[in-house]
Amino acid sequence: MSIRVKARLLQLLIQTTHEERLEIDKEIERRTRESCETGVDKITDQELRDIVEYVRRKKKPAPQEMMAIA
């Protein structure tokens, strides 16, 4: 987990779980093709918000899956 990513999220007042931060780090690395420590400095605040939203949407189960569980 990147300390710089965590600090940037706190600066933007975005609260995340440890698991979400791990996925955010991976997504930053995928989009910038650099380590999350250096890649986080190359993305804008809006791009970081978009990444957080993407990670959160990705982890939610689809509505059909939720009905199958119930």
Higher pLDDT, 15 or 63: 15
Write the CB contacts of 2 (distance below 8 Å, at least 6 apart in sequence): 21, 25, 28, 35, 36, 37, 40
Backbone φ, ψ for residue 16 (5° rounding): -135, 160
Q: State CA 40 to chain mean position distance.
A: 11
What pLDDT does 60 receive?
A: 73
Q: Where are the domains of the chain?
A: 3-69
- pLDDT of the residue at 66: 59
12-62: pLDDT as tens digits: 999 999 999 999 999 999 999 999 999 999 999 999 999 999 999 987 766
pLDDT at 67: 62
Gap between the terminal Cα atoms of the chain: 34
Q: Which of 16, 5, 15, 6 is nearest to 42 (CA)?
A: 5
pTM across the whole model:
0.80
